[in-house]
Amino acid sequence: MERHDLLKANSFDWVLEPDDPAARYQALKYLARLAPDDAELAAARQAALQSEPVRAILENMAPEGYWEKPGGGYGPKYFSGVWTLLTLAQMGLAAADDPRIATACAYYLDHAFTPFGSISYNGAPGGTIDCLQGNMCWALTELGYADDRLEMAYDWMARSNTGEGVAPLTEKKQAVRYYAYKCAPYFACGANQGQPCAWGAVKIMRAFANWPAEKRTPLIQRAIQTGVDFLLCIDPLTAAYPTPDGQKPNRDWWLPGFPIFYITDLLQLLEALAGLGYGRDPRLQNTLTWILNKQDKQGCWPLEYTYHRKTWADFGTRNRPNKWVTLRVLRLLKTIDEKSA
């Protein structure tokens, strides 16, 4: 399955147009796969760093490495460190591109990382939750930030979902235990009435897909299998995963957007599982067909979920062809080509 066979038209040239320098940089970096020292890529990198919103984001960072408010970076939404690092990572930037990004990564871990490897919204062990852990492990890895603490973070992310070496919530005297949010193994979440949370599972699988294969310990491999089994236990296109009080699945599953924060769409589920080599799994076929059917005659995808006026920039107009969502799909198809058996 070659990606051009699935496109109605060649949208690669569109995302390369210079009107959005950051989108062009990502396309050259991840789709064209230009070498890091390539002159065209270097020029695109500099153009991206000088473009909005990248310039505004970096200019608004405190010298210490935080945005808006010091600390663990969870609030205020969606301008503080968590959301800003996620945005920069999704835009295709890296810690090596600008020293301020590396400073922000270090500051974040200094204030959100706990001694047990969990990543916390408030710096305390009780502030960990799967969607945050997965998001930030993915973002820091995607940004190319090298830090020994990340190995501990990935180990905790695996251990807390297989249950190995983590005491139950009720054993409050134990140093390493579950808490109100991350309340049990198998992607259990207090915000989902203690049931497995598919949004959190997608974030975690996406992070594991970003972790180098040679670093995937047997523990991590077991956690990956646990996540794959959970996400593929139903037809993902239905999104019929556990919900509070048996409510209908959140409609946002079916609204591909940019950027993606704790809300999860089915495109991100595809990104995560394709990154782990499951892109051609028959159980994903309905979901893949669904996303392919969203393209227009030009091979472009619309922006259906947006944080309009809620974060540093607007990344397009709702329901209009969008370079960032199109890039997500083009990268997905490339991943399927490269990683699927």
> pLDDT tens digit string along 148-163?
999 999 999 999 999 9
**Domain limits at 247?**
3-339
Tokens 């945050």 — which residue? 132
Query: What are the distances in angstroms from CA 103 to CA 106, 132, 263, 282, 311?
Result: 5, 20, 27, 43, 21
pLDDT surpassing 90 at residue 1: no
Read off the pLDDT band of 205 (50, 70, 90).
very high
| C-alpha–C-alpha distance, residues 184 and 169, integer Å | 7
Tokens 């153009």 — which residue? 47
**CB atoms near residue 321 (< 10 Å):** 18
| C-alpha–C-alpha distance, residues 339 and 208, integer Å | 14
Gyration radius of the chain's alpha carbons: 19
Locate 254 and state its tokens.
């079916």
What pLDDT score was predicted for residue 204?
99
Taking the C-alpha atoms of 166, 169, 172 and 176 in order, what is their torsion angle to the nearest 10 degrees? 20
**DSSP per residue over 47-102, as a string?**
HHHHSTTHHHHHHTS-TTS-SSSSSSS--STTTSHHHHHHHHHHTT--GGG-HHHH
Region 117-124: what's the mean pLDDT?
Answer: 96
Locate 26 and state its tokens.
């990502």
pLDDT surpassing 70 at residue 283: yes
Query: Residue 11 has what DSSP assignment?
Result: -
What pLDDT score was predicted for residue 339?
87
Residue type (1 letter), 136 = M
Region 277-286: what's the mean pLDDT?
Answer: 98
What pLDDT score was predicted for residue 78?
97
The total number of structural domains in the chain stands at 1
- In Å, how far from its chain's centre is CA 254? 17
| C-alpha–C-alpha distance, residues 83 and 93, integer Å | 14
pLDDT surpassing 60 at residue 39: yes
> CB–CB of 249/239 below 8 Å?
yes
What pLDDT score was predicted for residue 4?
64
| C-alpha–C-alpha distance, residues 56 and 196, integer Å | 38
pLDDT surpassing 70 at residue 58: yes
pLDDT surpassing 90 at residue 62: yes
Of the candidates 299, 302, 296, the residue with the CA atom closest to the CA atom of residue 315: 302
Read off the pLDDT band of 5 (50, 70, 90).
confident
pLDDT surpassing 60 at residue 304: yes
Residue 299: CB partners within 8 Å, gap ≥ 6?
7, 8, 9, 10, 11, 14, 326
Q: What is the CATH number of the domain that holds 51?
A: 1.50.10
Region 279-294: what's the mean pLDDT?
Answer: 98
Read off the pLDDT band of 340 (50, 70, 90).
confident
Residue 19, exposed/middle/buried by CB under 10 A (0-12, 13-18, 19+)? exposed
Read off the pLDDT band of 3 (50, 70, 90).
low
Locate 289 and state its tokens.
């067909």
Q: What is the pLDDT of residues 67-114, one digit of tens each?
A: 999 999 999 999 999 999 999 999 999 999 999 999 999 999 999 999
Q: What is the pLDDT of residues 214-270, one digit of tens each?
A: 999 999 999 999 999 999 999 999 999 999 999 999 999 999 999 999 999 999 999
Mean pLDDT of the residues in the chain: 96
| C-alpha–C-alpha distance, residues 10 and 132, integer Å | 35
Supply the pTM of this predicted model.
0.97
Query: What are the distances in angstroms from CA 80 to CA 6, 85, 104, 222?
Result: 38, 9, 11, 33
Query: What are the distances in angstroms from CA 310 to CA 126, 283, 303?
Result: 27, 35, 16
What pLDDT score was predicted for residue 341?
62
Residue 132: CB partners within 8 Å, gap ≥ 6?
74, 82, 119, 120, 121, 262
| C-alpha–C-alpha distance, residues 27 and 33, integer Å | 8
Query: What are the distances in angstroms from CA 3 to CA 28, 103, 299, 327?
Result: 16, 37, 11, 12
